[in-house]
């Protein structure tokens, strides 16, 4: 990551203003290096301090809090090749990095993974943000790690933080509108570098302040505040939080199911779920994903043999194409052009967009200033008079919003049109505007479906599974005793970065060289539908498997059968169908969301039900006794019991049943 | 009444509509009414191909769209109607298309446009057209995504 940030320099050496952003980039790179170097010492220190106690707490130092606050800022900044939203923003990755900073990357990754599950179906489109997953990840992990909290307790606390974080996002969306007007003023003076400056510096300075200050404060004071609050609460309510940690993931999984749990892909969800429970969670999610890939191929070859493009639409489209302009209208750079763009101009423009598309995201123009910033290398090459430059800058400072990767086809097409216009072709502002405003919507529709609701959640589910899906070898999964695997975060970052950048670069270059023809060819070929269907098969498998690992509902009460006291869950339900209740909860949540129940309302209801269900209706509140019989009684005194198995009733002389404290 | 959603949105079909509304409402058809888009063969084709598989998209001008909407209004098929401006909806309404609620989903800012709410801005003419729609008995609401609570236009319009 530091390598990427450091790489900003040479690419942006054109102007004074750019040098400023390069300086910010260098500072960021330095911070990343510090972040990477710091944990080595911390790790060493914690190794000396001996084996971790069941609850070991960490005091967050000022430097660590500052690094966490910088990390949170970076997760929302454009400086990581525009990939922050797909990487540092996600609690899985945030958890790993907070773990590095605080000296326990494995536990950090595990906590981040648990916090991430409710955000699996997370989508932000058109300036709308349901929750700030990044605050949940960065501060949620800090609090949990520093207080020695069980990952499942962190889930409920982190979700509250996620709602709080939307204040920062919406504040920024409102304030950044002002900077768009500052950019207008620079455009009026035909100041290309000024427009670029206004897209990056004021908005990022503001964002840094509003991110760093609250997160720094929360990282320093949050752990103690949460510990104090938890200590003040009766034990059963804390158990309730743990139960909620097993229930809330159902919402994230069901939100994601809204996109892929459809039609002939539905059975694959159950295959994934049953595969996990039947093997007692002893297989890795990578195995499930590989199996999913194979099944996706079979599904596409044998189940979905129908034409991927609806016949009606395809026929209409073909007719429309025949009736309209000849294929030559696609803006293809012809050799007769006097002023030509170089490949370097195109790459520079693409890189500027990839970095800074959302640098000044605001309600008024959304990505408008980002679009103008990306066009600066093109404008420099194509236009020389002040009037032309002013007109071009103003033309591209208007409202714009698309998905910033697949949607790059719009930019490529527009650049080709600008090139032709500069060479005297009769292309007026209206022609360019209509391509921008007409294409940005549909391309965002396809792009968001591809990147945000298909590729990201599937890869995240895979990463989370690797991070937290340690084989427990028991029918009832438990996160309490699991060790996190930082590889889950690392593999996710590598995969998602490659896929997202590849889509963005291809769309940009193809949009330039083939323009409209590329758009219609891709859409007509049905390739996107095939990808979505195949991804849907694999996604359902992985999601099903993930539900089996992260959604936990355990009945606490006992029944007396033939004079023997038996736990309803362990003795009656699990032998029939392990995890049946959790599966039922997931399907019910999906059904409720389809009935348009508000996910936030559902979340609050689930939280309240979890806490109420932890109330000791049938016995004592709690005991600190190490006597297995007493512990068993605690375990069976409520409606639902926390994330560990109650085990069997202790026989008089038998060794104590496994009953880890939450 | 088969219109699950009648929405005014600059960008017509995009992420919020495809990934959000379409799934949330279980709509089976999208009807786009916009004169300029209907004239542009390329955009028509892109819009037709941009919706998810199995959801046919129709693009009509206002006159043709009104006839089509009247036809669909009495069919049981769940339909989403998209337009880019209040004038189009007013045109449909004047042609007798029954529209109970119109949703403002995306109306970009620009010179001479006043911001009503987040990503919703209106020109003075559009403001007049929205008031006209309310007078005709069509409720105007702002609801950007399906999970939002709808905000009545009336509560944001200071001097109707």
Q: Distance between CA atoms of A164 and A222, rounded to whole angstroms?
A: 14
Q: Is the pLDDT of residue A487 over 70?
A: yes
Q: What is the DSSP string of A58-100?
A: -PPPHHHHHHHHHHHHHHTSSTTTT-GGGTTTSHHHHHHHHHH
Q: Distance between CA atoms of A164 and A144, rounded to whole angstroms?
A: 17
Share of chain A above pLDDT 70, in %: 78
CA-based R_g, chain B, Å: 15
Q: Distance between CA atoms of A414 and A368, rounded to whole angstroms?
A: 14
Strand partners, A1: none
pLDDT at residue A51, as a whole number: 34
Does the active-site annotation cover B60?
Answer: no
Mean pLDDT of A125-151: 86
pLDDT at residue A55, as a whole number: 55
B108 contacts on A by Cβ (under 8 Å) = 364-366, 398-399
pLDDT at residue A650, as a whole number: 54
DSSP element (H, E) containing A168: helix A151-188
Lowest-confidence pick of A119-128, A301-310, B115-124 = A301-310
Q: Is the pLDDT of residue A13 over 80?
A: no
At residue A482 the predicted structure's pLDDT band, cuts being 50, 70 and 90, is: low
At residue A624 the predicted structure's pLDDT band, cuts being 50, 70 and 90, is: very low
Mean pLDDT of A559-566: 74
Share of chain A above pLDDT 90, in %: 39
Lowest-confidence pick of A43-57, A198-212, A556-570 = A43-57
pLDDT at residue A305, as a whole number: 52
Of B2, B14, B20, B95, the active-site residue reads B14
Q: Is the pLDDT of residue A225 over 50?
A: yes
Name the residue with higher pLDDT: A340 or A138.
A138
Q: Distance between CA atoms of B60 and B39, rounded to whole angstroms?
A: 9
Name the residue with higher pLDDT: A571 or A381.
A381
Q: Please name the member of A324, A439, A444 whose beta carbon is closest to the beta carbon of B15.
A: A444
Lowest-confidence pick of A481-490, A542-551, A634-643 = A634-643
Mean pLDDT of A257-271: 89
Q: Is the pLDDT of residue A141 over 50?
A: yes
The verdict on A433 touching B (C-beta cutoff 8 Å) is no
pTM: 0.79
Mean pLDDT of A270-288: 87
Q: Is the pLDDT of residue A205 over 90?
A: yes
Mean pLDDT of A46-73: 72
- Nearest 5°: the CA angle A4, A7, A12 is 130
Task: Out of A407-411, A555-559, A631-635, A652-656, give the one with best mean pLDDT.
Answer: A407-411
Q: Do B147 and A130 count as a contact with CB atoms less than 8 A apart?
A: yes
Beta strands in A517-579 (DSSP E): 558-561, 564-567
A320 contacts on B by Cβ (under 8 Å) = 41, 44-45, 48
At residue A249 the predicted structure's pLDDT band, cuts being 50, 70 and 90, is: confident
At residue A59 the predicted structure's pLDDT band, cuts being 50, 70 and 90, is: confident
Instruction: Collect all residues with Cβ–Cβ distance below 8 Å to A270 and sequence separation of at least 6.
Output: A544
Share of chain B above pLDDT 90, in %: 54
Q: Is the pLDDT of residue A562 over 70?
A: yes
The verdict on A124 touching B (C-beta cutoff 8 Å) is no
B150 contacts on A by Cβ (under 8 Å) = none
Q: For chain B, what's the residue count?
A: 160
Mean pLDDT estimate for chain A? 79
Alpha-carbon A223 to chain mean position: 24
pLDDT at residue A646, as a whole number: 55
- CATH code reported for the domain at B3-154: 3.40.35.10
Q: Is the pLDDT of residue B151 over 50?
A: yes
Q: Please name the member of A258, A402, A519 whose beta carbon is closest to the beta carbon of B46.
A: A519
Name the residue with higher pLDDT: A56 or A566.
A566
- Where are chain B's structural domains? 3-154
CA-based R_g, chain A, Å: 27
- Cβ atoms of B141 and B104 within 8 Å: the answer is yes
Q: Do B41 and A524 count as a contact with CB atoms less than 8 A apart?
A: no
How does pLDDT run across A575-622, given as a tens digit for each residue?
Answer: 788 888 999 999 999 999 888 888 888 888 998 998 888 887 776 654
- Cβ atoms of A547 and A468 within 8 Å: the answer is no
Q: Do B19 and A443 count as a contact with CB atoms less than 8 A apart?
A: no
Within 10 A of A516 (CB to CB), how many other CB atoms are there? 22
Q: Is the pLDDT of residue A641 over 90?
A: no
Q: Is the pLDDT of residue A499 over 80?
A: yes
Structure tokens at A522: 């891709």
pLDDT at residue A649, as a whole number: 55
At residue A226 the predicted structure's pLDDT band, cuts being 50, 70 and 90, is: confident
Mean pLDDT of A325-353: 73
Q: Is the pLDDT of residue B143 over 80?
A: yes
- Where are chain A's structural domains? 335-443, 553-635
Q: Do B13 and A524 count as a contact with CB atoms less than 8 A apart?
A: no
pLDDT at residue A596, as a whole number: 80
Q: Do B53 and A309 count as a contact with CB atoms less than 8 A apart?
A: yes
Q: Is the pLDDT of residue B111 over 50?
A: yes
Which chain A residue has its CA at the smallest distance from B117's CA?
A363
Question: Is A213 exposed, middle or buried, given 0-12, 13-18 or 19+ CB atoms closer than 10 A?
Answer: exposed
Q: Please name the member of B45, B47, B147 whose beta carbon is closest to the beta carbon of A599.
A: B147
Q: Is the pLDDT of residue B141 over 90?
A: yes
Q: Do A438 and B37 count as a contact with CB atoms less than 8 A apart?
A: yes
Give the residue among A635, A656, A537, A642 at the shortest CA–CA distance from A271.
A537
| Inter-chain contacts counted by CB atoms under 8 A, chains A and B | 153
Q: Is the pLDDT of residue B99 over 80?
A: yes
Q: Is the pLDDT of residue A329 over 90?
A: no
Name the residue with higher pLDDT: A449 or A128.
A449
**Helix then strand then coil, % of chain A, to nearest 5:** 70, 0, 30
Lowest-confidence pick of A407-411, A459-463, B116-120 = B116-120
pLDDT at residue A339, as a whole number: 86
Q: Is the pLDDT of residue A375 over 90?
A: yes
For testing the chain B interface, which of A126, A169, A457 should be mutated: the one with the most B CBs within 10 Å?
A: A126
The A residues from 333 to 372 touching B (CB cutoff 8 Å) are 363-366
Within 10 A of A481 (CB to CB), how many other CB atoms are there? 11
pLDDT at residue A84, as a whole number: 93
Question: Is A349 exposed, middle or buried, given 0-12, 13-18 or 19+ CB atoms closer than 10 A?
Answer: buried
Q: What is the DSSP string of A446-479?
A: HHIIIIIIIIHHHHHHHHHHHHH-----SSS--S
Lowest-confidence pick of A388-392, A408-412, A566-570 = A566-570
Mean pLDDT of B68-92: 93
Q: Is the pLDDT of residue A546 over 80?
A: yes
Q: Which residues of A557-590 are buried (b: 16+ CB within 10 A; e: fewer)?
A: ebeeeeeeeebbbbbebbeeebbebbbebbbebb
For testing the chain A interface, which of B5, B23, B45 should be mutated: the one with the most A CBs within 10 Å?
A: B45
Q: Please name the member of B51, B115, B119 whose beta carbon is closest to the beta carbon of A126.
A: B119
pLDDT at residue A127, as a whole number: 66
Which chain A residue has its CA at the smallest distance from B46's CA?
A520
pLDDT at residue A315, as a whole number: 52
Mean pLDDT of A279-307: 82
**Helix then strand then coil, % of chain B, to nearest 5:** 40, 25, 35
Within 10 A of B124 (CB to CB), how many other CB atoms are there? 10
Q: Is the pLDDT of residue A460 over 50?
A: yes
B26 contacts on A by Cβ (under 8 Å) = 594
Share of chain B above pLDDT 70, in %: 98
At residue A316 the predicted structure's pLDDT band, cuts being 50, 70 and 90, is: low
Give the residue among A501, A510, A502, A324 at the shortest CA–CA distance from A416.
A510
pLDDT at residue B1, as a whole number: 52
The label of the residue with tokens 């990808």 reads A531
pLDDT at residue A621, as a whole number: 52
Q: Distance between CA atoms of A99 and A144, rounded to whole angstroms?
A: 10
User: 3-state secondary structure string, B19-52?
Assistant: HHHHHHHCCCEEEEECHHHHHCHHHHHHHHHHCC
Mean pLDDT of A253-267: 87
Q: Do B50 and A365 count as a contact with CB atoms less than 8 A apart?
A: no
Mean pLDDT of A630-654: 60
pLDDT at residue A320, as a whole number: 47
Q: Is the pLDDT of residue A479 over 80?
A: no
């Amino acid at each position: 990551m530091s390598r990427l940030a450091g790489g900003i320099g040479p690419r942006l050496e054109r102007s004074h203003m750019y040098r400023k952003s390069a300086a910010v980039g260098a500072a960021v790179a330095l911070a990343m290096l510090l972040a990477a170097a710091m944990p080595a010492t911390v790790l060493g220190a914690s190794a000396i301090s001996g084996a971790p106690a069941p609850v070991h707490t960490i005091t967050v130092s000022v430097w660590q809090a500052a690094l966490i606050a910088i990390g949170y800022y970076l997760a929302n900044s454009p400086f990581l090749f525009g990939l922050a939203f797909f990487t540092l923003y996600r609690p899985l990755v945030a958890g790993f990095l907070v773990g590095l900073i605080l000296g326990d990357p494995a536990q950090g990754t595990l906590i981040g993974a648990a916090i991430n599950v409710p955000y699996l179906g997370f989508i932000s489109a058109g300036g709308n943000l349901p929750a700030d997953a990044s605050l949940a990840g960065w501060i949620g992990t800090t609090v949990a790690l520093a207080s020695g909290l069980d990952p499942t307790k962190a889930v409920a606390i982190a979700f509250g933080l996620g709602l709080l974080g939307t204040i920062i996002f919406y504040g920024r969306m409102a304030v950044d509108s002002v900077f768009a007007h500052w950019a207008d003023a620079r455009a009026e003076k035909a100041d290309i570098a000024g427009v670029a400056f206004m897209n990056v510096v004021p908005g990022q300075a503001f964002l840094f302040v509003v991110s760093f200050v609250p997160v720094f404060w929360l990282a320093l004071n949050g752990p103690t505040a949460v510990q104090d609050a938890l200590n003040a609460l009766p034990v059963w309510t804390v158990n309730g939080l743990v139960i909620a940690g097993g229930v809330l993931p159902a919402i994230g999984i069901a939100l994601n199911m809204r996109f892929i749990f459809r039609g002939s892909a539905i059975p694959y969800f159950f295959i994934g779920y049953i595969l996990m429970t039947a093997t007692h969670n002893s297989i890795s999610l990578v195995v499930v994903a590989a199996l999913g890939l194979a099944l996706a191929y079979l599904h596409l070859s044998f189940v979905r043999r129908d034409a991927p493009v609806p016949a009606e639409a395809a026929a209409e489209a073909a007719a429309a194409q025949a009736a309209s302009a000849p294929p030559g209208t696609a803006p293809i750079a012809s050799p007769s052009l006097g002023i030509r763009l170089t490949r370097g101009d195109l790459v520079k423009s693409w890189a500027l967009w990839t970095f800074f598309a959302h640098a000044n995201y605001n309600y008024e123009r959304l990505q408008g200033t980002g679009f103008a910033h990306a066009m600066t290398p093109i404008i420099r090459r194509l236009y020389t008079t002040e009037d032309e430059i002013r007109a071009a800058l103003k033309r591209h400072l208007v409202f714009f919003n698309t998905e910033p990767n697949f949607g790059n086809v719009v930019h490529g097409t527009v650049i080709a049109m600008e090139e032709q216009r500069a060479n005297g072709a009769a292309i007026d502002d209206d022609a360019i505007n209509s391509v921008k405003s007409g294409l940005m919507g549909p391309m965002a529709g396809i792009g968001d479906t591809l990147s945000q609701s298909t590729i990201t959640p599937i890869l995240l589910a895979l990463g989370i599974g690797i991070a937290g899906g340690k084989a427990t070898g028991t029918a009832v999964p438990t996160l309490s005793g699991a060790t996190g695997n930082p590889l889950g975060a690392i593999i996710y970052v590598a995969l998602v970065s490659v896929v997202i950048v590849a889509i963005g670069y291809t769309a940009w270059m193809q949009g330039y060289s083939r323009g409209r023809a590329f758009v219609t060819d891709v859409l007509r070929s049905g390739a996107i539908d095939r990808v979505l269907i195949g991804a849907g098969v694999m996604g359902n498998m992985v999601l099903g498997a993930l539900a089996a690992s992260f959604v936990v509902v355990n009945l606490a009460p006992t029944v007396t059968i033939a004079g023997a006291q038996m736990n309803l869950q362990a003795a009656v339900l699990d032998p029939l169908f392990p995890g049946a209740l959790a599966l039922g909860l997931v399907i019910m949540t999906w059904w409720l969301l389809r009935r348009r129940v508000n996910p936030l309302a559902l979340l609050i209801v689930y939280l309240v039900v979890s806490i109420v269900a932890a109330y000791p209706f049938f016995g004592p509140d709690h005991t600190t006794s190490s006597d297995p019989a007493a512990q068993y009684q605690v375990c069976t005194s409520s409606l639902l019991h926390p994330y560990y198995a109650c085990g069997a009733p202790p026989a008089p002389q038998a060794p104590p049943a496994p009953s880890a404290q939450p | 009444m088969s219109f699950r959603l009648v929405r005014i949105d600059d960008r017509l079909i995009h992420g919020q509509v495809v990934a959000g509304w379409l799934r949330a409402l279980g709509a089976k058809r999208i009807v786009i009414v916009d004169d300029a888009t209907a004239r542009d063969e390329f955009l028509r084709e892109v819009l037709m191909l941009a919706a998810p598989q199995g959801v046919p998209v129709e693009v009509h001008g206002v006159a043709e769209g009104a006839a089509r909407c009247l036809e669909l209004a009495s069919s049981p098929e769940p339909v989403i109607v998209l337009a880019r401006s209040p004038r189009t909806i007013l045109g449909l309404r004047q042609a007798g298309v029954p529209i109970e609620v119109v949703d403002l989903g995306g109306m970009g800012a620009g010179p001479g446009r006043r911001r009503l709410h987040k990503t919703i801005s209106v020109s003075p003419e559009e403001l007049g057209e929205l008031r006209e729609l309310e007078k005709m008995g069509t409720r105007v609401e702002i609801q950007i995504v399906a999970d939002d609570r709808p905000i009545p236009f009336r509560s944001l319009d200071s001097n109707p």
